[in-house]
Structure 1
Amino acid sequence: MKLSSLADRRAEDDPHGPAVADARQALSNGQLLERVDTAAQLLHDNGIGVSDVVAVKLRNRVEFVVLLFAAWRLGAAVTPVNPSLTGEEVTRQLADSGARLLVTDDEDATATNDVLTLTVAQLASHPVGPVQPPHDDPSALALLIYTSGTTGTPKGVMLDHANLDAMADMGRQALQIGPADRCLLILPLFHVNGIVVSIVTPLLAGASVVIADRFDPRTFFDVVERERPTYFSAVPTIYTMLAALPVNVTPDTSSLRFAICGAAPASSELLSRFETRYGFPLIEGYGLSEGTCASTINPIEDPRAGTVGKPFPGQRIRIVDESGAEVPIGVDGEVLIAGPNLMRGYLGRPQDTARTIVDGWLHTGDIGHRDADGYLSLAGRSKDMIIRGGENIYPREIEDVLAADPTVLEAAVIGAPDEKWGEIVVAYVAPRPGAAIDSQALQALCVRKLAGYKRPTSIIVVDAIPKNPVGKTDKGPLRAAHSSEPT
């Protein structure tokens, strides 16, 4: 089903059926089509057409979804802008993307001399004009997603309609999503996970979407009980906070078939503890923006703890060593991905693109191995790998040990420069609410669970582990706390 005409087809098949809702409004399929037509006319009247880029700087709300399909109807692309970015960061993204138009919330003070800015109020008040016919071109750019930038200046990941169609169909098959499903969106729509997993995939599958307000662990299950979703997608940080709720919180989760855990590694202990408490499975997956969000997922009927599952239908995985040769089953190497979901490339960065996609394979920079049944387990990022005296150490293994302690909410492990060893292991841990961490007890735990060279030289207790805007652990500030040169 073409994204540019999706609203038309849903309205034709079931005009009164639910499409998308938030805390302020709910749109049927017919109403969604009307809103998409109106928004497309507004964009068209402001000069937007084929190959143009529309920047959308909105919090999670129905209008974000409307603008996606309105832009796609015209053959234009959308670049989502994180509402928490500074003015300088917004200007940089607008310039790099070549955006011709910026749409913001009504109260947003964003202004630029180079790009026309419209507000949601203008979107709602625009008169309905002639309906714009859907633009049909699978190779047209659909999304320009900017990476989180923890490793340098954010790069624009170019995803076309063929990428989104392929990824959504893969998700529909793997997760068995159909018209009876209702997805609860809680992740930010400026990230590819929120758009692809929680908007495009369910709507293409005939399901409906409800958009939650800003995530709050204290009220999250109230939303679940009220909206009765069948699934949602979140990051480990969110599941950690929900798992830490007081024991007297016993919500009705009977509507939920599963929840997806992705964007960052989760410990097996967290997944098991969460499922035992709340009664529905967490299905861990893995992917990158460069692969249109997801490349592996645990089968709903046969999830395997400690892994991120098997490749989505239509995708292939290879594990290779430094020379590019495939390694045996069970041996760690770099994870490579191939399939119709691979990005078109990085906008304006042909050299970066050529280094990342080689002979049709996406070099992820992630380290992992497959078992005999094809399940992928991740050891960590190659850039996160710690080399101590010639020994390779993957932080994920140490973080899982630390996070298994009942007083630890989350952990982050880095390599710190050391004159003798080159690098040493340093661990940061944050406590569960109401708990006190005993660093000596954690050291004793590491002695029992880890080889000597993997054990942290120091364990530092902090109030919270730094996160980037999409909820992934950001180790940059932790590394910055240590000298960049051996002492």
Structure 2
Amino acid sequence: MRRRWMPLQTSAHRTSTGDRRPIMIDTSGTLYDSLARHAENQPSAPAIVLFDGTTYDFAYLKRQADRIAAALRSKGVQPGDRVAVKLEKSIEALAALFGVFRAGAIFLPINTQYSRREVTDIAEDAEPRLMIGSQEGAADVDGLPFVSLDLGSPDGEDLLEATPLDATPDDQPPGPSDLAAMLYTSGTTGRPKGAPLSHGNLTANLSALAQFWKIGANDRVLHILPMFHAHGLFLAAAMPLGVGGSLILVEKFTTEATLAKIPEATVLMAVPAIYSRLLADPAFNAETCRNLRLATSGSAPLSPELFDAIAQRSGLNIVERYGSTETCIITSNPLEGQRKVGSVGVPLPNIDVRIVDRNGRPVEQGEVGRVQINSPATISGYWQRPDLTDEWTSDGYFDVGDLGKLDEDGYLYLVGRSKELIISGGYNVYPREVEIVVANLDGVREAAVFGAPHPDFGEGVVCAVTLSSGEAVDENEIAAAIKPDLAAYKRPKKIVILDEFPRNAMGKILKNDLKDRYASIFNS
């Protein structure tokens, strides 16, 4: 089964801020080129607004990016070099992003929560020329040059020390085919791998998504995500700035800070775990969200129950989207038109999605299979790993590693990771199907389903759950409640109740941690 995006017939979109301005991410250039264009055409327009109201315009952001690029060149950074950046969300982090782009180097974001060992592992693989961090930080890797970046303080050794305010590299900026950034996969399925994205990968995908969501210069995007992954770095930051919009930065996510700034925003991008926390506060309501024209969710599945709860409380119909580090964004529910709860939407422009069986043959509509895509935003290979080619097919498709199905309208539904498929007694069990049934029970907050070695069935289905606040539901009650809705082979053979799930920085449940923890659950 295959589905290519078809244009939706919609009317022009308007917001309370007036007509939308033209989309201006030029796919023949780079994201830095878009920044430079806005700095010339609307130099005093707000680009970044801090929580305290401090505002930086496009002219300032472009000037600092140019200075950073010139300073990097003076430090010996050449086009194609990797520059590691370990900065908390800030004006410095955004200026560094565009500065590295202007220098023709490859932006290598480092999770600020990573330990010395984790940073060293990435540095040994990526071999960056240097690391940019805060003045409070220190080099995490022996032998890796470290420079601080603090635009607000003239004190101390700083990357921009002795760099003139009007400094800019004297060479030509990079083009679409040059590498722009390298992000490392989350490692939920093993050793992290470097995914190098070109400037063309980024502009093609972000331009398509900006048009799909009608992101424009009048939009004010509330930025509450970390900036060391694709969601927070490119979707929530680079895309709005690329079309001339502005960011409202919440440096560290808290429910209180987010609720305080939502009334100022027109767009909110978040993950299910954040929406759950917002729902726990009565202040998350229709009045608070009155100016939001778009609220999106990604990076983890959004349950139908959470979708409905958000809609009932706030009036927001969340737009769920789907992508990966290697492919950028693949599908999204439409901004206008039918949004199907439980679906991650339809393919973006110029993206082809197909569902195949284990032998690579297309399956029938509605059948579950492996999700494969063909997209101009997909990486061409992993960094320094020519041995890893299994994800790419001979006809140009990339196997995302997910299991899904397409309906009659071309909407994609995910049922789990292909590596998470449970084969119990010869039957295929899709974790997502079981999770939806369990999570729909009264008293259950979330469910995570995985397989564990079983002496009789090969694998047995295990379901870990967390409960809603104040609820007292036991394993036997859950088992009895799901019995009418699941075939016997799909029902969990063990149910465990946890206080919290292990999660990564994006709030995604770390199922490998759960699988390791309960690997012997059927041997006891």
Range of TM-score over shorter length: over 0.9
Decide whether aligned partners of structure 1 residues 411 and 246 sit closer, same or farther in structure 2, where only a CA change above 3 A counts.
Answer: farther
Among residues 35, 42, 46, which one is paired with 1:18 in the alignment? 46
Instruction: Tell me, yes or no, if structure 1 residue 464 matches structure 2 residue 500.
Output: yes
Q: Which residue of 1 aligns with 2:259?
A: 221
Among residues 78, 82, 104, which one is paired with 2:111 in the alignment? 82
Contact 2:438/2:482 (<8 A) preserved = yes
Length, aligned pairs only: 484
Describe the SS at the equivalent of 2:388.
Answer: helix
Task: Name the amino acid aligned to 2:449.
Answer: V
Describe the SS at the equivalent of 2:387.
Answer: helix
Among residues 322, 339, 352, which one is paired with 1:286 in the alignment? 322
Q: Which residue of 1 aligns with 2:10?
A: none
- Distance in 2 (CA, whole Å) between partners of 1:442 and 1:240 is 22
1:100 CA displacement? 0.4
Instruction: Tell me, yes or no, if structure 1 residue 446 matches structure 2 residue 475.
Output: no
- Distance in 2 (CA, whole Å) between partners of 1:62 and 1:22 is 8
- Distance in 1 (CA, whole Å) between partners of 2:395 and 2:249 is 39
Contact 1:356/1:364 (<8 A) preserved = no
Further displaced range: 375-384 or 439-448: 439-448
Further displaced range: 32-41 or 54-63: 32-41
Q: Which residue of 1 aligns with 2:89?
A: 60
Contact 1:147/1:157 (<8 A) preserved = yes
Q: Which residue of 2 aligns with 1:37?
A: 66
Contact 2:284/2:313 (<8 A) preserved = no
Q: Which residue of 2 aligns with 1:205?
A: 243
Task: Name the amino acid aligned to 1:210.
Answer: I
Describe the SS at the equivalent of 1:199.
Answer: helix
- Distance in 1 (CA, whole Å) between partners of 2:272 and 2:481 is 23
- Distance in 2 (CA, whole Å) between partners of 1:436 and 1:480 is 27
Alignment of 1:20-419 (within 5 A): 20-23=48-51, 25-121=54-150, 122-123=158-159, 125-128=161-164, 130-132=167-169, 135-225=173-263, 228-246=264-282, 252-292=288-328, 294-301=329-336, 302-356=338-392, 358-419=394-455
Contact 1:287/1:295 (<8 A) preserved = yes
- Distance in 2 (CA, whole Å) between partners of 1:20 and 1:108 is 24
TM-score w.r.t. length of structure 2: 0.88
Contact 2:138/2:146 (<8 A) preserved = no
Task: Name the amino acid aligned to 2:333.
Answer: N
- Distance in 2 (CA, whole Å) between partners of 1:198 and 1:71 is 18
- Distance in 1 (CA, whole Å) between partners of 2:445 and 2:101 is 42
Q: Which runs of 5+ in 1 are unaligned?
A: none
Task: Name the amino acid aligned to 1:130.
Answer: A
Describe the SS at the equivalent of 1:351.
Answer: coil
Decide whether aligned partners of structure 1 residues 355 and 404 sit closer, same or farther in structure 2, where only a CA change above 3 A counts.
Answer: closer
Decide whether aligned partners of structure 1 residues 486 and 269 sit closer, same or farther in structure 2, where only a CA change above 3 A counts.
Answer: closer
1:123 CA displacement? 4.1
Describe the SS at the equivalent of 2:514.
Answer: helix
1:170 CA displacement? 1.0
Encode CA deviations 1:365-386: one digit per residue, 9 max, x unaligned.
1111101110001111111111
Task: Name the amino acid aligned to 1:179.
Answer: A
Describe the SS at the equivalent of 2:209.
Answer: helix
TM-score w.r.t. length of structure 1: 0.95
1:323 CA displacement? 1.2
Task: Name the amino acid aligned to 1:448.
Answer: P
Q: Percent identity?
A: 37
Contact 2:284/2:314 (<8 A) preserved = no
- Distance in 2 (CA, whole Å) between partners of 1:51 and 1:85 is 25
Runs of 4+ with >6 A deviation: 247-250
Describe the SS at the equivalent of 1:69.
Answer: helix
Describe the SS at the equivalent of 1:284.
Answer: strand
Decide whether aligned partners of structure 1 residues 220 and 248 sit closer, same or farther in structure 2, where only a CA change above 3 A counts.
Answer: closer
Contact 1:48/1:100 (<8 A) preserved = yes
Contact 1:21/1:62 (<8 A) preserved = no
Decide whether aligned partners of structure 1 residues 406 and 242 sit closer, same or farther in structure 2, where only a CA change above 3 A counts.
Answer: farther
Decide whether aligned partners of structure 1 residues 196 and 424 sit closer, same or farther in structure 2, where only a CA change above 3 A counts.
Answer: same
1:354 CA displacement? 5.0
Task: Name the amino acid aligned to 1:389.
Answer: G
Task: Name the amino acid aligned to 2:74.
Answer: D
1:17 CA displacement? 0.5
Q: Which residue of 1 aligns with 2:16?
A: none
Task: Name the amino acid aligned to 1:359.
Answer: D
Further displaced range: 145-154 or 104-113: 104-113
Encode CA deviations 1:258-303: one digit per residue, 9 max, x unaligned.
21111111211111111111111211111111102x1000002221
Describe the SS at the equivalent of 2:123.
Answer: helix
Task: Name the amino acid aligned to 1:243.
Answer: L
Encode CA deviations 1:159-181: one digit per residue, 9 max, x unaligned.
00000010111111111111111
RMSD: 1.9
1:53 CA displacement? 0.8
Task: Name the amino acid aligned to 1:8.
Answer: A
- Distance in 2 (CA, whole Å) between partners of 1:29 and 1:371 is 43
Describe the SS at the equivalent of 1:265.
Answer: coil
- Distance in 1 (CA, whole Å) between partners of 2:135 and 2:285 is 36
Contact 1:422/1:486 (<8 A) preserved = no
1:304 CA displacement? 0.8
Q: Which runs of 5+ in 2 are unaligned?
A: 1-25, 151-157
